[in-house]
């Protein structure tokens, strides 16, 4: 990703208003993220730090990030050492991807001491290291022992050492002669890759942008770096020294892919560009969606595992029951044998292994051979076949009932899994935990005594001005359909697919087809079919929907429905 040393130096400049501010609050939203609130002359600012391999960064954030109820140990450590501390300085060595935050804080005895927080933005090696005034590590958000890295360990009480730094150029101050001199010592390579090797703190997207602009899109290599190409390349480098064109690129599906502090033109019409007023705002928006999804998955990983294993167990049980049901389908044969033996008891003797009789239940009474147990009397053999028939008949009734219950349970587990994939807050995850606890899938001891406050249903407005409500989970689906909705409202749900209950508030008015189609699109979006097209959605007046007694949360039956085929609509755009 493009958070290189050059971009980080710009972020450092944007963080300068924090200098002189005091630490007001420290929290840890997830295992590798820290949020520090500063009291400054301009008000409160929140500094976000991530040491996650795929999204390591540091910037001011305006987002409201939910925090766990119980702070992790590293968060408590930061509060102990930095609580109410004053930020003295923010440093960067050249264009290295490390920012040093120097604090003045008080010890437990009230003495003032200097503490440094080193934010290392280095891919999978990213870290946040707390260092005391003697240069020793107090602790880090990710400890690195000898098994993980023999070159550079990061453990408490060790002397902090910076990662090895190569001898490369600073594009902000180098000359053309510097570029030629260092290039002579380098092996042949594509020009963009060569630039990454010789310049400190630039990302691949910057190197490609310089190369593309200098060469006019032609394929060039290190050996071409002379004459006019060198002049044009150096011109692009000089322009970048002062450029502050914070640009992100996204594909045609709207997914953000990359970013830089310079204008990005190398993709042409293949990518769209998005501009941001500052480096911090670019980082804040770029990573928000991906990190929120990652954060929720991390917090709900145990539920994903539980639901997956439960679903697999139910599916295996259903498969076995269906096989047993196939066996019981032969029960009429046992009754036939019993009836034929009853009619021919006078011909049977104990000790016979089989008997051949006329099957008078079929036309022309064909011969049929029936196996017998020679140890049993004729009447006992007859009773044995009748017993097998009754056993199979009973088994079919029980299995049919068990299979129906199993299919309902499997549908319920699928619906909870679908709701879990659409959660965006810890409270919503905890609501699902509470629901699964009530249904007996989670032990009550694992649920906190204080249940989360239930959020209201999602609410949207149709183009015609009608209110549309969407349930967040099964329990809310029940409440929405059976308690909140009026009998004249319209109920929608994807056909034979797990998803949310959707209600159109009619207010006693006739609902136009455009609103029904819009609400159906929202129902499709809040279902397992959100990435499909032409999704069937049933809709019916609420008065024709009812919940059977004893059914699982979210399960209803309805009559008189109509079906409409729609493409999912994202109402958040």
- Assign 329 to helix, strand or coil: coil
Share of residues in the chain with pLDDT > 70 (%): 96
Q: What CATH number is attached to the domain comprising 18?
A: 2.30.310.10
- Assign 148 to helix, strand or coil: coil
Q: Is 70 exceeded by the pLDDT of residue 515?
A: yes
Q: Give a yes or no: residue 449 inside a domain.
A: no
Pairwise CA distance, residues 212 & 285, whole Å: 27
Q: Give a yes or no: residue 260 inside a domain.
A: yes
Q: Is 70 exceeded by the pLDDT of residue 41?
A: yes
Q: Is 60 exceeded by the pLDDT of residue 451?
A: no
315 within 8 A of 410, measured Cβ to Cβ = yes
Q: Give a yes or no: residue 149 inside a domain.
A: no
What residue numbers bound the domain in which 67 lies? 5-140
**Of 242, 260, 293, which residue is a domain's last?**
293
Task: Tell whether 91 and 24 lie within a shared domain.
Answer: yes
Lowest mean pLDDT among 34-38, 104-108, 463-467: 104-108
Task: Tell whether 559 and 478 lie within a shared domain.
Answer: yes
Q: Give a yes or no: residue 440 inside a domain.
A: no
Task: Tell whether 28 and 135 lie within a shared domain.
Answer: yes
Task: Tell whether 406 and 322 lie within a shared domain.
Answer: yes
525 within 8 A of 570, measured Cβ to Cβ = yes
Q: Is 80 exceeded by the pLDDT of residue 105?
A: yes
Residue 203's nearest CA partner among 157, 239, 240 is 240
What is the rounded average pLDDT for all residues in the chain?
90
Task: Tell whether 67 and 125 lie within a shared domain.
Answer: yes
Share of residues in the chain with pLDDT > 90 (%): 65
Task: Tell whether 285 and 354 lie within a shared domain.
Answer: no
Task: Tell whether 380 and 270 lie within a shared domain.
Answer: no
Q: Give a yes or no: residue 571 inside a domain.
A: no
Task: Tell whether 258 and 216 lie within a shared domain.
Answer: yes
Please list the residues that pair with 369 across neighbouring strands: 356
377 within 8 A of 383, measured Cβ to Cβ = no
Q: Give a yes or no: residue 496 inside a domain.
A: yes
- As given in the structure block, the two tokens for residue 509 are 């008015």
Residue with more model confidence, 457 or 255: 457
Q: How many domains, the chain?
A: 4
Task: Tell whether 279 and 317 lie within a shared domain.
Answer: no
Task: Tell whether 130 and 185 lie within a shared domain.
Answer: no
469: DSSP letter: E
Q: Is 50 exceeded by the pLDDT of residue 437?
A: yes
Pairwise CA distance, residues 492 & 390, whole Å: 44
Sign of CA dihedral 315, 319, 325, 326: positive
Task: Tell whether 413 and 479 lie within a shared domain.
Answer: no
Pairwise CA distance, residues 89 & 81, whole Å: 17
Task: Tell whether 111 and 230 lie within a shared domain.
Answer: no
Mean pLDDT of 117-134: 94
332 within 8 A of 325, measured Cβ to Cβ = no
**Of 418, 443, 478, which residue is a domain's last?**
418
What counts of helices (H) and strands (E) characterise the chain?
13, 22
**Of 293, 327, 342, which residue is a domain's last?**
293
Q: Is 50 exceeded by the pLDDT of residue 449?
A: no
Q: Give a yes or no: residue 257 inside a domain.
A: yes
Q: Give a yes or no: residue 465 inside a domain.
A: yes
Lowest mean pLDDT among 80-89, 188-197, 319-328, 481-490: 319-328
């Amino acid at each position: 990703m493009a958070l290189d040393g050059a971009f980080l130096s710009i972020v450092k400049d944007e963080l300068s208003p924090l200098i002189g501010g005091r630490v007001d609050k420290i929290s840890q939203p997830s295992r590798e993220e820290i949020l520090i609130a500063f009291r400054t002359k301009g008000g409160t600012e929140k500094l976000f730090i991530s040491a996650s391999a795929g999204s390591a960064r540091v910037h001011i954030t305006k987002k409201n990030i939910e925090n766990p109820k119980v702070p992790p140990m590293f968060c408590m450590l930061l509060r102990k050492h930095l609580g109410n501390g004053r930020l003295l300085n923010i440093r960067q060595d050249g264009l290295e991807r490390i920012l040093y935050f120097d604090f003045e804080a008080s010890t437990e005895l009230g003495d003032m001491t200097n503490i440094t927080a080193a934010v290392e933005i280095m891919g999978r090696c990213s870290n946040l290291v707390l260092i005391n005034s003697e240069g020793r590590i107090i602790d880090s958000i990710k400890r690195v022992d000898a098994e993980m890295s023999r070159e550079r360990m990061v453990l408490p009480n060790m002397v902090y050492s910076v990662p090895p730094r190569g001898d490369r150029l600073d594009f902000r101050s180098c000359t053309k002669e510097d570029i030629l001199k260092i290039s002579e010592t380098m092996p042949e390579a594509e020009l963009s890759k060569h630039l990454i090797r010789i310049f400190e703190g630039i990302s691949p997207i910057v190197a490609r942008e310089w190369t593309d602009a200098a060469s006019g899109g032609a394929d060039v290599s290190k050996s071409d770096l002379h004459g006019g190409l060198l002049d044009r390349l150096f011109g692009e480098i000089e322009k970048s020294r002062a450029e502050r064109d914070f640009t992100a690129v996204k594909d045609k599906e709207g997914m953000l892919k990359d970013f830089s502090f310079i204008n990005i033109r190398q993709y042409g019409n293949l990518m769209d560009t998005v501009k941001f007023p500052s480096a911090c705002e670019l980082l804040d928006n770029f990573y928000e969606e991906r990190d929120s999804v990652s954060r929720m998955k991390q917090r709900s990983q145990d539920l994903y595992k539980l639901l997956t294993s439960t679903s697999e167990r139910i599916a295996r049980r259903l498969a076995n029951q269906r096989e047993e049901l196939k066996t019981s389908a032969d029960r009429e044969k046992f009754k036939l044998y019993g009836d034929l033996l009853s009619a021919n008891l006078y011909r049977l003797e104990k000790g016979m292994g089989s008997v051949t009789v006329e099957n008078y239940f079929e036309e022309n009474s064909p011969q049929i051979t029936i196996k017998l147990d020679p140890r049993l009397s004729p009447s006992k053999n007859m009773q044995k076949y009748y017993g097998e028939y009754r056993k199979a008949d009973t088994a079919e009734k029980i299995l049919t009932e068990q299979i129906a219950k199993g299919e309902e349970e499997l549908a319920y587990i699928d619906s909870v899994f679908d709701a879990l994939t659409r959660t965006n807050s810890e409270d919503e995850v905890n609501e699902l935990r509470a629901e699964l606890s009530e249904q007996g899938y989670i032990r009550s001891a694992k649920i906190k005594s204080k249940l989360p406050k239930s959020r209201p249903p999602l609410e949207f407005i149709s183009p015609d001005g009608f209110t549309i409500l969407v349930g967040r989970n099964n329990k809310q689906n029940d409440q929405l359909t059976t308690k909140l909705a009026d009998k004249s409202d319209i109920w929608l749900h994807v056909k034979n697919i797990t998803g949310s209950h959707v209600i159109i508030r009619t207010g006693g008015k006739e609902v136009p087809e455009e609103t029904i189609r819009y609400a159906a699109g929202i129902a499709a979006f809040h279902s397992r079919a959100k990435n499909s097209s032409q999704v069937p959605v049933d809709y019916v007046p609420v008065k024709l929907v009812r919940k059977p007694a004893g059914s699982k949360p979210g399960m209803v039956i309805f009559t008189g429905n109509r079906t409409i085929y729609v493409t999912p609509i994202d109402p958040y755009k």
